Structure 1
Amino acid sequence: MFKKIPLHSQIFLGLILGLVVGLTFIFTNVPQWITLELIKPIGEIFVRALKMVAAPLVIASLICGIANLSDISKLSRMGTKTIGIYILTTTFAITIGLVTVNLLQPGKLISPKTRSDIEAKYSQDVKAKKEQAEEVKEQLVLQPLIEMVPENFVKAASENSRMLQVVFFAVLFGVALLKIPENKRSPVVAFFDGLNHVVLKIIDFIMIISPYGVFSLICTLLVEVAGDDPNKVWGILKSLGFYALTVIIGLLIMVLVVYPMLLRVFTRKNFSYKAFFKGIERALLLAFSSSSSAAALPITIECVEKEFGVSEEVSSFVLPLGATMNMDGTSLYQAVAAVFISHALGYDLSLGQQLTIVFTALLASIGSAAVPGAGLIMLLIILESIGVPSAGLALVLGPDRILDMCRTAVNVTGDATVSMIIATTEGEKLKILEDKKETVEVE
């Protein structure tokens, strides 16, 4: 009976059950070890399995995608358009975040007592993140460009946080393939094409446990947030609710206004946004539960190809690149969080300081790893760049895990949107953008 339920519905049921079981455990005082030792490992296995295939998928799909272009000029054209649109959407996201937080000003609602409670609770976490941020700050101005080139490709491929290095190598490898004779190129392309299909089949196997993985991740998240004193934690989260709402409002504007607008502008076609969400539903649920666009990448590629009709040539180039440099949700969150912390600590930011946030967040989005928590390290750098004490990071650590889930889902939505735009501008006919007689539906 359960097998007859569509996979995306199974994943959603897993998410709901995770919420119900997690809350039940919290308010019935079930010992934490039951969750941490019996339930949490399932989620960790699931996420590890997805990350396991991320590097081979990026390598195989990018190399095949570039090699199949058979034209360097087409690669250059696609690359320029893709990076340009990613920078555009990230700039939109940061601007929306700043406008929203300046209008609602949630930071001015934090009471001094709540502020001191939060700082005391998360002081150790702030210290750890500050040490990581100091390492980044000491780097050269062009260090991100240097870091893009791997010293050891095998080492880069073994760490998901170095995915940009993997992308660099794969692109270089693909371009080199285009420059060698056909009889030498064909067997290499055939190998990576076969590898790509093998990885996709492995993903099918992994997805069998996805409902259980999502259940475990959500249940564990709730129990870990509550800790030994759920009432105190919920009180802190309630006081920060308006801040979280501000971030979510900004994210909703990106999803419900900016992305549909860009699709209409670039494709000039009617489309059903409900169908768009249904098409990437599985990818969104995985991004939401894992807080990692890298972990969701295999499913995102599968969704845009099967549900929207984006060619493998486009998806295998645009989406891996997006998972490493297109962090719209993260950039918006960083803008909101920086102003929120500033207001909460009694700092009023000038126009120049807010422009600094735009520039720094834009650069940070390119260098952020596609893994949970990476945005916090970049947030510390933003705070330092505008002269706000980095200890203020403690103010946003409470609800950060939940907001991380939301902004990762927005990152994936942005990646899927850009892949459709690039595919359309390359002359592809997409299922969701076909001309229809009915009125466009944007929800």
Structure 2
Amino acid sequence: MKKWYKQLHWQILIGLVLGLIWGLIASVAGLSSFTIDYVKPFGTIFVNLLKLIAVPLVLASLIVGVTNLNDVTKLSRMGGKTILFYMFTTVCAITIGLTVVNVMQPGKALPQETQAELQASYSQNIEGSEESAMEFKERGPLDFIVDIVPQNVVQSASDNGNMLQIVFVAILLGIGIIQIPKEKGRILIKFFDSLNDVIIKLVDFIMLTAPYGVFALMAGVIVDLAGDDLTKALDLLGALGWYCIAVLLGLILHVLIVYSSLFKMFSKMKIKDFFKAIQPAILLGFSTSSSSATLPVTMERVEKNVGVDEEVASFVLPIGATINMDGTSLYQAVAAVFIAQALGLDLSIAQQLTIVLTATLASIGAAGVPGAGIIMLVIVLQAIEVPVEGIALILGVDRLLDMCRTAVNITGDAAVSVAVAHTEGLLGEMHLED
């Protein structure tokens, strides 16, 4: 068993604490310039690595996800229900997240003076956002849809701001692959499947640098923000606490409202019995932050304890591990609005609707591994023209929230499998262990 200090989430938390301490010491000891010149760049490198992996991750994951739907030709009815349920729960999750963050407004806990300091830190990005917003107002009502279809896929892949175009291309390629003869398509499927595995490994490598990236980012944020007034740093920590509460509250509401409604409509089981039946899968997902790694356990518990037929479980759950990320989508909505609030940026209704669309599509391409949610958040932030560097504000607590949202992701996969099994007449009796 790993010693606690060798586990990544503890290392990230240690990096956060040390970054805060260094930032406070640097602001008092006159080391601000040293921190900005020689420490903060490593945080920038970490953010750039996240941006670097975003396009290939979405492309490969989505193509693999779409080609996995090849069984829809045999199980078209079940496939349609599965995708419909997953899309519905994802949109509900994002809507709940946006509602909670707009009501609580955790980013507004920062004084206006502190928000102005953060704005100054990202002034160039914010100026670009304002220019883009003015251009957006002058656009036609259907230009947004037109922009999703690229003229040049290479050009789209060169700019993370065109991620929706990459999503479109990936879906189109996936559909094309499953429409050609299997012998020809198998080569491409294996290629993108292998590419997806390689990228997930790269995500693992990048996340190994997360403790150092968090240290550098937080030290830079504190130095930029605090100056000679350390109370500003405390204001930031207070707002971060409210942000965590907003995410956790949103996740709880989603489980109690959406999943409970699914059980009432499509089964007679009680939600507490359902949780007892899949408890090992939830705990494993919570500890590993990986819905993909937990998939074998989830399938075993859903089939043997919940009573979902193997035909349904073997079809619905693997797809869910690829395209159903309710907890991740909700977190992305809360995080994006929180960062915008902390930077003093007001998001319009159109921008918040963009969050719903982008987070839904991004969740389809989110790999079920630790840290993938942060990469998807890069996509959402760029879609609404919010400085990506604002991720520095939330990285320190992301691992804990990642564990919670992964547990919700797994719960959502299992809940949808119950609903689909019921509609197909393939839901048996629940078997609870003593």
| Shared fold (TM-score, shorter chain, > 0.5) | yes
Q: Say whether 1:89 aligns with 2:93.
A: yes
CA deviation vs aligned residue, 1:211-266 (integer Å, no higher than 9, x gap) = 63121221111122023674547422433555444433221112234235534443
Q: Structure 1 217/427 Cα, relative in aligned 2: closer, same or farther at 3 Å?
A: farther
TM-score using structure 1 length: 0.65
Q: Say whether 1:22 aligns with 2:19.
A: yes
* 3-state DSSP of counterpart to 1:271: helix
- Using the alignment, how far apart are the partners of 2:327 and 2:254 within structure 1? 18
* 3-state DSSP of counterpart to 2:275: coil
Matches within 5 A, 1:25-424: 25-29=22-26, 31-32=34-35, 33-36=37-40, 39-40=42-43, 43=46, 47=50, 50-51=53-54, 53-71=56-74, 72-101=76-105, 107=108, 124-157=124-157, 159-177=159-177, 179=179, 184-193=181-190, 195-197=192-194, 199-201=196-198, 203-204=200-201, 207=204, 209=205, 212-227=208-223, 230-232=226-228, 234-239=230-235, 243-259=239-255, 261-266=257-262, 268=269, 270-271=274-275, 275-276=281-282, 278-283=284-289, 300=290, 302-309=292-299, 314=316, 318=320, 321=323, 327-332=329-334, 357=349, 361-367=352-358, 370-372=376-378, 374-375=380-381, 378=384, 401-403=392-394, 409=402, 415-424=409-418
Q: Structure 1 206/231 Cα, relative in aligned 2: closer, same or farther at 3 Å?
A: same
Residue in structure 1 matched with residue 369 of structure 2 by the alignment: none
Q: Confirm or deny: 8 A CA contact 1:13 1:211 kept in the other structure.
A: no
- Using the alignment, how far apart are the partners of 2:40 and 2:118 within structure 1? 24
Q: Confirm or deny: 8 A CA contact 2:97 2:334 kept in the other structure.
A: yes
CA deviation vs aligned residue, 1:291-322 (integer Å, no higher than 9, x gap) = xxxxxxxxx56235345339785567556656
Q: Confirm or deny: 8 A CA contact 1:110 1:240 kept in the other structure.
A: yes
Counterpart residue type for residue 270 of structure 1: F
- Runs of 5+ unmatched residues, structure 1: 284-299, 346-353, 381-392, 439-443
Q: CA RMSD in A?
A: 4.8
- Runs of 5+ unmatched residues, structure 2: 264-268, 303-312, 363-375, 423-428
- Using the alignment, how far apart are the partners of 1:436 and 1:206 within structure 2? 37
Q: Structure 1 193/134 Cα, relative in aligned 2: closer, same or farther at 3 Å?
A: same
Q: Structure 1 46/228 Cα, relative in aligned 2: closer, same or farther at 3 Å?
A: closer
* 3-state DSSP of counterpart to 1:58: helix
Per-residue deviation at 1:17?
A: 3.5
* 3-state DSSP of counterpart to 1:308: helix
TM-score using structure 2 length: 0.66
- Using the alignment, how far apart are the partners of 2:173 and 2:328 within structure 1? 22
Q: Structure 1 45/9 Cα, relative in aligned 2: closer, same or farther at 3 Å?
A: farther
Q: Confirm or deny: 8 A CA contact 1:327 1:366 kept in the other structure.
A: no
Q: Confirm or deny: 8 A CA contact 2:225 2:232 kept in the other structure.
A: no
Q: Structure 1 264/142 Cα, relative in aligned 2: closer, same or farther at 3 Å?
A: same
Q: Confirm or deny: 8 A CA contact 1:164 1:324 kept in the other structure.
A: no
Q: Confirm or deny: 8 A CA contact 2:326 2:412 kept in the other structure.
A: no
Q: Structure 1 51/172 Cα, relative in aligned 2: closer, same or farther at 3 Å?
A: closer
Per-residue deviation at 1:116?
A: 6.2
Q: Structure 1 53/128 Cα, relative in aligned 2: closer, same or farther at 3 Å?
A: closer
- Using the alignment, how far apart are the partners of 1:202 and 1:341 within structure 2? 32
* 3-state DSSP of counterpart to 1:270: helix
Per-residue deviation at 1:171?
A: 3.3
- Using the alignment, how far apart are the partners of 2:285 and 2:5 within structure 1? 10
Per-residue deviation at 1:21?
A: 3.8
Question: How many equivalent residue pairs?
Answer: 380
Identity of aligned residues (%): 14
Counterpart residue type for residue 384 of structure 2: M
Q: Confirm or deny: 8 A CA contact 2:12 2:214 kept in the other structure.
A: yes
* 3-state DSSP of counterpart to 1:5: coil
